[in-house]
Structure 1
Amino acid sequence: MSDLVMLKESTAVGAHSAGRGVLVALSSEVIRWGICNMLERLDPPRHIEPHDDVASASDILRSGLYSLVIVDATDGEDVLLQLTENAGRLGVKVLVLLAHVDASAVERIAALPADGFLVQSDLTLECMNETLERLDRGDLPIPATMVRQLMARARSGGARAFQAQVRLTPREHDVLHLMGEGLSNKQIARRFGISVHGVKRHVTNVLAKLNCPNRTQAVSIALKQGLLASG
């Protein structure tokens, strides 16, 4: 128990005021403290707050001290949906932890308005650090196994009618592909040699045509409906 107290005290030093805290809202005590210990070893240091009640995590996020919340995909669809929506309104990013990539549930999980996904079996210090760096850059970290599952389901049928309804320009389609690769607006701008403002305009058009509130859901729908299944 003393180790847990030491962890909580050590991660609080000097990090609260920066608003870069990480709320680890996982119901499993073993996984929660495992993630906390891993986060403690990363640079730059962040305030790390373990929390065992996902349903009340939104209240903690309102403090403005946290830029990221980590949740478990098994903690209940309704609870997760409410938390991710509340976090989005507060400007807090959401990283969803998956025990495994279940083919029967991958579409439902991908539909959550989250900012990234991480599979427990992939969890290493390097992987966690890379995931957080990508989130900080505005990228969309999605495990390759999850992308393959979504693409396989898109190829299984139901995609052509949707593709006919969604009329993206060639440039919007290119932007959507790079969004699917997890590139930020700045990275897409460099790839095409255009301004970030121009990329934002294309992204806005893509979100509107796919009727999605954010990049995560747009990529999820595009994968499910076959817009990214080729290539």
Structure 2
Amino acid sequence: MRNAMLLTESSAVETKGALRGILVALSSEVIRRGICNMLERLDPPRHIEPHSDVAAAAQALRGGSYSLVIVDAAADSEETLLRFTKDASELGAKVLILLDRADADTVERITTLPADGFLVQSDLTLECMSETLERLDRGDLPIPATMVRQLMARARHGSAAQRTPVQLTPREQDVLHLMGEGLSNKQIAKRFGISVHGVKRHVTNVLAKLNCPNRTQAVSVALKQGLLGHAA
């Protein structure tokens, strides 16, 4: 009897954990099926709920429990997408934005979104998806090199008059530069020979000084302000 009770409790925990799944909101059926297929093949297994539009996904988001939301950057209007991604973040879900391309117009549109990472359709492979999710789980910022180049191009052509200087310590500046290269906290710690806890403290200070909620926006703001012009 006791073993049966333990089994029931264990099953309940597993069911509850499964609800912390992945909410997929992608308008293209081909891309949506492809990504869901990739996610189903990854370990550990995760509950996956696909939707073809943001409105349906937003309703599911409010009624469920998800650890990750994958949404198309071109899925809907900028206002709708911003509201959806903000709601996801407030509910504790990480946001992964899928880009059909990383051109200047697309990058300009999505840099204000509270995203935790980005993917470009042309880069989509099972290995890429697995690595991206692993980096998200570690708290890193997955960002395609093509998008980084676009952000840097925007920074180079930005007006100096539009920049608001931010005072960073030399170590914070070094950490910010490596954040811009997409390095994880563990990689940054190894580069400078300091603890991961120390890196997290520097990252927190950088986010606070740049008034940004996450690494994605911090890198974007830093590029606009010309704070990433020199190597660490």
Report TM bin, short chain: 0.7 to 0.9
Structure 1 position 171 matched with structure 2 position 171: yes
One-letter identity of the residue aligned with 1:78: E
Matched-pair contact (CA < 8 Å) for 2:19–2:66: yes
Matched-pair contact (CA < 8 Å) for 1:166–1:209: yes
1:153/1:127 CA distance change after superposition, 3 Å: same
* Equivalent position SS for 1:104: helix
Q: Which residue is equivalent to 1:227?
A: 227
RMSD, aligned α-carbons: 2.2
1:174/1:145 CA distance change after superposition, 3 Å: same
Q: Which residue is equivalent to 2:10?
A: none
- What is the alpha-carbon distance in structure 1 between the residues aligned to residue 229 and residue 207 of structure 2? 18
Matched-pair contact (CA < 8 Å) for 2:163–2:224: no
1:77/1:197 CA distance change after superposition, 3 Å: same
Unaligned runs of 5+ in 2: 1-13
> How big is the shift at 1:124?
0.9
Matched-pair contact (CA < 8 Å) for 2:69–2:94: yes
User: Number of residues paired by the alignment?
Assistant: 217
One-letter identity of the residue aligned with 1:120: Q
| TM-score (norm: length of structure 1) | 0.84
Structure 1 position 84 matched with structure 2 position 80: no
Alignment of 1:158-197 (within 5 A): 158-159=159-160, 162=163, 165-197=165-197
Q: Which residue is equivalent to 2:135?
A: 134
> How big is the shift at 1:127?
0.9
Q: Which has the larger radius of gyration?
A: 2
| TM-score (norm: length of structure 2) | 0.84
Q: Which residue is equivalent to 1:36?
A: 36
Unaligned runs of 5+ in 1: 1-13
- What is the alpha-carbon distance in structure 1 between the residues aligned to residue 187 and residue 92 of structure 2? 21
- What is the alpha-carbon distance in structure 2 between the residues aligned to residue 15 and residue 145 of structure 1? 39
One-letter identity of the residue aligned with 1:69: V
One-letter identity of the residue aligned with 2:155: A
